[in-house]
Amino acid sequence: MTKPCVHPSVTTVFFVTFTVRSGSNLLCDYLSQLQLGQATEFFQPPFGQTNAWFYEQVGAARDDFATFLPALTERFSASGIFGSKLDWAHRNALEAAVVEHFGCRSLQEAFNPVWIRIIREDKIAQAISTWRAMHSKVWLRRTTDPIAAQPAPQYDYEALRQCLLNLTGVEYVWTHYFRRQGITPIAVTYEELIAQPNAALARIVAPLRARAGLPPLSAIAVPESTLAVQRDAFSEKVYTRFVADLDRAGVPGHKPGAPLE
């Protein structure tokens, strides 16, 4: 890859597009352990502030995006592969930055990336998980982390409904972005990643290794993730009540697996 946005040692770039609580951390944890980059949320705006730690890691001044980006891709790559998680705000900020600092017209031109899209089919569970994380401020917990006692939030139908609307709204935005750009991302669901991780990872690993010029794997050994499941009995109670309230309100298309359009 001879792109000014990336370090010369980087041959392949991938982006994992996600909405909150969709399983993107689990997916990126697996890919990292398989030596396919070290994907995380590198591009939280505003650059040099929210993501200042990464600027420090690569020795770039906080206002020097042109130095930061190639250095970042080298520092956090593996096997010549650099990956990053992108939510919709990250995508917008990153594209604006590469247009300004590198003269590229789009992320496609800047990186020629492999796009990976992870979706959680059970939007009810995803909305509940988002709502709880907003209250607890715990967005990621590892199995080795101590379990801190958190008071259960009071049930709030409107807050849960807003989380559900936000999630489905962003999914629509990504769907239409890919259509406008003529991109067919590698699609994987959280549910598949849990139930059939070998099949889900195989669809991602094979094209990434091929793009990077690495030999194919005869089989994929699914790594042992250290991420802890945060769903519990309280989540189940909220789930039952929220579904009943949505049914009473006549909200369409909220059942698990319901199509986005």
Instruction: Please determine, for residue 147, whether its predicted confidence score (pLDDT) is greater than 80.
Output: no
Greater confidence, 257 or 132?
132
Under a CB-based contact definition with an 8 Å cutoff, are residues 73 and 8 in contact?
no
Domains present along the chain, CATH in parentheses: 12-249 (3.40.50.300)
Both tokens of residue 217?
């794997």
Rg (CA), the chain: 19
Global pTM reads 0.91
CA–chain centroid gap for 15, Å, is: 8
Range with lowest mean pLDDT among 102-106, 163-167, 239-243, 248-252: 248-252
16 C-beta neighbours (distance < 10 Å), count: 28
Instruction: Please determine, for residue 5, whether its predicted confidence score (pLDDT) is greater than 50.
Output: yes
Mean pLDDT over 123-142 rounds to 85
Tell me what pLDDT residue 230 has.
73
- Phi and psi angles of residue 176, each rounded to the nearest 5 degrees, phi first: -75, -30
Tell me what pLDDT residue 261 has.
38
